Structure 1
Amino acid sequence: MKKNFADRFINGIEWLAAIFVGIVALNIFVNVLLRKFFSTSIPDYYDFGRMLLGILIFWGIAATSYRGGHITVDLLWGAVNKRWKRIIDVFATLVLLFVVIVQTVMLFDKVEGTWKDNVLTYDLNLPTWPFYAVAWVGDICAVLLIAVRTWRLVFNPESLHDEHFDSPMHEVE
């Protein structure tokens, strides 16, 4: 199957989310080794850890929002016919899109606030706003991916990567 720009963008977001998982794990691993064997730690380890975890969360939201692979409760969805399943999917995705758009706007306020207030890390006095900005970009990517998912749900559901969309049972009657 030939991949278009949207599919390549989605794969890129997923790779970035995976890279952030690796960075968080590496930060923890190196700091544990330094503390155990050398009685020292990475300067600003705690600040880096919490900000990297925030980045990881927002990029993880971006990665899972498109695929629909996150935990869902499909009690009602499983009991209705194919037409209503599609309606529920579109409605749920639109609600998710609205919530993540509001979250993105609020996170921008956090980025702007840390920049204007010149919030710095404890040990190295590095500005914290770039970390918040990277998390915010992850949130923007989540909005874009949810918008792509909504578009595909409405106009081209077979192009989605969800397990229940791959089966012919999900087609609208």
Structure 2
Amino acid sequence: MKRNVMDRMINSIEWLAAIFVGIVALNIFIAVVLRKFLSTSIPDAYDFGRMLLGILIFWGIAATSYRGGHITVDLVWTWANPRLKRIIDVFATSVLFFVVAVQTAMLFDKVHGTYVDHVQTYDMNIPVWPFYAVAWVGDVSAVVLIAIRTFRLIFHPDWLEEEHLPQHRVE
């Protein structure tokens, strides 16, 4: 199947989210090993961990927003007919788009505020705003992916269904 630009962008964003999971895990692993066996620590390990976790959360939102892999309560959706299911999906995704778009605007304000205030880490005095900016880009990615999902739900729902049909094996 030929991959279009949207699918490549979706996969790239998901890979970036996965890379951030690895970076957070590596940071924690190295910090624990250094503390346990060498009685030392990474300077600003706590600040890095905290900021990397924030980055991970926003990129995770981006990754789960398109696929719909987040936890949902869909009791009404389960009992609905296909037409009503599509209406519920479009409405829910539109609300999610609005909420994440507002969150993105507010997070940009936080990035700008940390830049203007020259907020730095405790030990090495590294500026904090680039970490916040990477988290913001993850949030922007979430808005883009939710927009793509909304577009596909409205105009090409079959594109989403192909990706999310459960794979039942008949034996």
* TM category, shorter: over 0.9
Q: State the distance in 2 between where 1:162 and 1:109 align.
A: 36
Q: Which residue of 1 aligns with 2:25?
A: 25
Structure 2 residue corresponding to 1:163, chosen from 125, 149, 165: 165
Q: State the distance in 2 between where 1:69 and 1:132 align.
A: 25
Asked if the contact 1:69–1:162 (Cα under 8 Å) also holds between the matched residues in 2, the reply is no
Output one character per residue of 1:104-160: Cα deviation in whole Å (capped at 9) or x when no partner. Answer: 000001000000000000000000000000000000000000000000000101111
Percent identical among aligned pairs is 75
Q: State the distance in 2 between where 1:46 and 1:140 align.
A: 26
Asked if the contact 1:104–1:136 (Cα under 8 Å) also holds between the matched residues in 2, the reply is yes
Q: State the distance in 2 between where 1:141 and 1:102 align.
A: 13
| 5+ long unaligned stretches in structure 2 | none
Q: Which residue of 2 aligns with 1:124?
A: 124
1:109 aligns to 2:86 (yes or no): no
Aligned residues: 166
Asked if the contact 1:111–1:133 (Cα under 8 Å) also holds between the matched residues in 2, the reply is yes
Q: CA deviation at 1:162?
A: 2.6
Cα 1:163/1:69, change in 2 over 3 Å = farther
TM-score, reference length from structure 2: 0.95
Q: State the distance in 2 between where 1:61 and 1:11 align.
A: 14
Q: State the distance in 2 between where 1:129 and 1:163 align.
A: 41
Asked if the contact 1:31–1:45 (Cα under 8 Å) also holds between the matched residues in 2, the reply is yes
SS in 1 for 2:106: helix
Q: Which residue of 1 aligns with 2:65?
A: 65
Tell me the amino acid that sits aligned with residue 29 of structure 1: F
Q: CA deviation at 1:79?
A: 1.2
Q: Which runs of 4+ in 1 moved over 2 A?
A: 161-164
Q: State the distance in 2 between where 1:125 and 1:80 align.
A: 55
Q: Which residue of 1 aligns with 2:141?
A: 141
TM-score, reference length from structure 1: 0.93
Output one character per residue of 1:53-74: Cα deviation in whole Å (capped at 9) or x when no partner. Answer: 0000000000000001111111
Output one character per residue of 1:69-96: Cα deviation in whole Å (capped at 9) or x when no partner. Answer: 1111110011111111000000000000
Q: CA deviation at 1:50?
A: 0.3
Q: 1:89-108 counterparts in 2 under 5 A?
A: 89-108=89-108
